[in-house]
Structure 1
Amino acid sequence: MSEQLLIDSHHHFWALDGSVHYPWLEDEIDDHFFLGDYAAIRQPFLPADIRALIPPGYHLTGTVHCEAESTRQAPEVETRWLTQLSEQQGLPVALVGWAAFADPACETQLDRQMDSPLFRGVRAKPVTAARPDRYDDTLGAPGSLQDAGWARGLRMLEERDLSWDLRVPAWHLADAARALEATPNLRVILNHTGLPWDRSEPGLASWREGMQALAANPNVAVKLSELGSPMADWDERQNIALLAETIGIFGPRRCLFASNFPVTGLNASYATWLAMIEQAIADAAADARQPILHDNAVRWYRLPAPAMAG
């Protein structure tokens, strides 16, 4: 039997050798990290490491690197390093950088990164509430989804045909759907299954409502990734059900396999996470293995021909 082609549409590399500075990995511990103690990932993670994690039966044809919160003053440093890494080691085949949406420097940051042939878009995280009961505290705050500067940043992406990797907790998904009405042609890839951190019945109802609002926009896709939560223990069975439900909401043509490694490794091995995705596909769209595990990433991130052909 031939190997299943695989593209990992969301992971992180870091060398921790001075090439790129990551304050949260190399300086003081971030006490507010959403998965708690992350000492286990404060070590280099590079192309050879992710290749070594791919289980038998799969052929990794490419990966998409998502910005890893390097020093914010010069996001092009990480982009240049990743471009050189790709030239030397073949991964990643595309990257998602960062830019300061509400800052006058945003335009320059975008244009500098567009010099890289791997650059596809940015992940810029808006100001959000850490818990649903604090939602009102951030509504309309500087840097929030309601900030005029944020809207300007999204327009700059749309004008440059760049995508936005959207990462907000579930209680902000409906806000994101409303914010995107002003940029109807912007390609958006929602991170981490919409972050359903609140696993109470009202919390999951809010997640579903927000996911459906975003899915109504045909230019929004979702990464089947990272279901660790600061508000609930890891529950493999429930997580598989949420993955399957996400496939049902967005449809199999707008769901992308993603590992979020090495971060997801705090809760599950790469093989376990991939098996969970496979089970969700079997439960929700059994004929969609190839699109979800490979082809959708090619289309949404406009990957090069070698990734398409394997």
Structure 2
Amino acid sequence: MSEQLLIDSHHHFWALDGSVHYPWLEDEIDDHFFLGDYAPIRRPFLPADLRALVPPGYRLAGTVHCEAEAARREPEVETRWLTQLAEQQGLPVALVGWAAFADPGCETQLDRQRESPLFRGVRAKPVTAARPDQYAATLGAPGSLQDSGWTRGLRLLEDRELSWDLRVPAWHLADAARALEETPSLRVILNHTGLPWDRSEAGLEHWREGMRALAANPNVAVKLSELGSPMAAWDEQRNIALLAETIDIFGPERCLFASNFPVTGLNVSYATWLAMVEQAIADADAGPGARQAVLHDSAVHWYRLPDPRITG
């Protein structure tokens, strides 16, 4: 039986050797990290480490690196380091950087990163509430999805044909859908299955409403990734059901396999996460091409990857 081609559309690399500074990994512990104690990942994670995690039966054809909260003053430092890493070690094949949307220097940050042939877009996180009962306090706050000074960054991405990696908890998904009405041609990839942290009945219904609102925009796709929650214990079967429901809402052509490693490794192994996504694809009963789409082809389309069989 031939190997299944796999593209991991969301992971992080860091060397922790001074090449790039990651305050949350190298300086003080972030007491508000959404998965709690993250001491096990405060060590280097590089292409060889990721390749070693891929189970038999799969060939890692490429990966997309997502910005890893490097020091914010010069985001191009991480982009340049990753570009050099790819030249030396073959991964990643594309990257998502960061830029300060509300900053007058945002244009310069974007254009410097565009010098890298791997640069595809930006993940910039708006101000959000850590819990649903705090949601109202963030509405209209500086840096929020209602702040026109911040959302100008989305227009800068649209003008440059760059994509936006959207990461907000589920109670902000509908807000994101509304904000995107101002940038109708912007390509958006929603992170982490829409972060359904609140697993109450009401919380999941809120998540579904937000996911449907985003799915109504044909330029939005979603990464099947990271279902760890600060509000609920890890539940493998329940998480598989959420992945399958996401495939039903967006369709396989707009769903991308993503590991979020090494972070997801705080809860589950790479092989187990991949098996969970495989089970969700089967449970969704989305047709004969669904597996190839989710595990490979969707990433090629949404991140504009070269499509031969990328790294060998």
Structure 1 spans left out of the alignment, 5+ residues: none
Which position in structure 1 is the counterpart of 2:47? 47
In the alignment, is the contact (CA less than 8 A) between 1:224 and 1:258 conserved in 2? yes
Which position in structure 1 is the counterpart of 2:258? 258
Secondary structure of residue in 1 paired with 2:55: coil
Q: TM-score when scaled to structure 2? A: 0.98
The Cα shift of 1:305 comes to 3.3
Counterparts of 1:62 and 1:286 in 2: how far apart (Å)?
24
Do residues 156 (structure 1) and 151 (structure 2) align?
Answer: no
- The letter for the 2-side match of 1:289 is R
In the alignment, is the contact (CA less than 8 A) between 1:168 and 1:194 conserved in 2? yes
Secondary structure of residue in 2 paired with 1:175: helix
Which position in structure 2 is the counterpart of 1:117? 117
Do residues 138 (structure 1) and 138 (structure 2) align?
Answer: yes
Deviation by residue 1:147-205 (Cα, 9 ceiling, x = unmatched): 11122100000000000000000000000000000000000000000000000000000
Which position in structure 1 is the counterpart of 2:92? 92
Do residues 78 (structure 1) and 87 (structure 2) align?
Answer: no
Do residues 129 (structure 1) and 129 (structure 2) align?
Answer: yes
The Cα shift of 1:116 comes to 0.1
Deviation by residue 1:185-240 (Cα, 9 ceiling, x = unmatched): 00000000000000000000000000000000000000000000000000000000
Which position in structure 2 is the counterpart of 1:206? 206
Counterparts of 2:307 and 2:38 in 1: how far apart (Å)?
36
In the alignment, is the contact (CA less than 8 A) between 1:163 and 1:186 conserved in 2? yes
In the alignment, is the contact (CA less than 8 A) between 1:298 and 1:307 conserved in 2? no
- The letter for the 2-side match of 1:291 is A
State, as a whole percentage, how many aligned pairs show the same letter: 85
How do residues 1-310 of structure 1 correspond to structure 2 at under 5 angstroms?
1-284=1-284, 285=286, 287=288, 288-307=290-309
Query: Alignment length, in residue pairs?
Result: 310
In the alignment, is the contact (CA less than 8 A) between 1:295 and 1:308 conserved in 2? no
- The letter for the 2-side match of 1:303 is L
Counterparts of 1:168 and 1:150 in 2: how far apart (Å)?
15
The root-mean-square deviation of aligned C-alpha atoms, in Å, is 0.9
Summarize the Cα distance change of 1:110–1:199 in structure 2 as closer, same or farther, 3 Å threshold.
Answer: same
Q: TM-score when scaled to structure 1? A: 0.99
Secondary structure of residue in 2 paired with 1:127: coil
The Cα shift of 1:309 comes to 9.0
Counterparts of 1:174 and 1:305 in 2: how far apart (Å)?
33
Secondary structure of residue in 1 paired with 2:79: helix
Counterparts of 1:234 and 1:266 in 2: how far apart (Å)?
10
The Cα shift of 1:88 comes to 0.2
Secondary structure of residue in 1 paired with 2:189: strand
Deviation by residue 1:24-70 (Cα, 9 ceiling, x = unmatched): 00000000000000000000000000000000000000000000000
